[in-house]
Structure 1
Amino acid sequence: MRALRRPSAILPSLLLVAAAGVLAGCHAPPPPAEEITIWQRRGAWMGRGLTQTEPFIGDTGFLRLTWEAHGAPNAGAFKITVHSDVSGRPLLVAVDRRGPGRDVTYVTEDPRAFFLVIESEDLDWSVEVAEGLSGTRTLPRP
């Protein structure tokens, strides 16, 4: 004759296995996050007249040009052209205006090495280039 197992001996083991399974599936949700752009400086220049900058690398091709031109109100042209450092060809005119001013211009190009050609007539100028990199920021829990 075979001895029957008592359900009372099996039940605690089953409950323990079930509880472990439930606890393994209970993870706190990840903290909320938001997509952000991190700006890394690639170069800054200042001057007067015609200048070609040294090359800089754009790993993403997403560039921010922060520029300022100052001088007499009737001063001449101010122009910034973005060039490929690989071929030397002009890719786009980022700024083209007359007289003093300041602004931020965003450029989206294929990743590559770039340089700027900056032209000014009777204007002192400054230009800073930063590259936008994608990132995530964890937000505090409510």
Structure 2
Amino acid sequence: ATKKEEVVEFPPTSSATDRLQRAAKFWSSAVPIALSYFSKSGELRIRENILGEKLTDAETELIWEDVHSKGARELTDVITSLKGFYVKTAQIIASRQDLFPSQYTEALSGFTDNLDPMPASLAKAVVEKELLHRNELFEDVFSEFD
């Protein structure tokens, strides 16, 4: 008995223009988020060094928590609209509580839990197409595939 070949339909390939537009959309959100940190840092220095305000550590922490929360919301919104590579990036950020503020890891954690998985047949087809050598069989390389 021969094994019946399963036909797997690959998603359409994005054009260079599509990829450029997606990158522009991402960076048009990411750059203002990054700049908000520089702006807030400058504001706090002016308040302390020029205006003579001395904020407590608790007050300063609340200010930064607000900046983190706003940035996390904006980043989540843009990644939700872009999907694909950007979702994978969000999953990495969400898993790195040691590197990123909790507002980001918590906001982006939804990308690790609440997404429909790629069909296993598509994942297997991508591995076969992109990683296996000519005449190499999937079963010869992988003993299991979940």
TM band (smaller chain): under 0.3
Normalised by the length of structure 1, the TM-score is 0.20
> In terms of Rg, which structure is larger?
1
Structure with the bigger percentage of strand: 1
Normalised by the length of structure 2, the TM-score is 0.20
Q: Which has the higher contact order (CA 8 A, sep 6+)?
A: 1
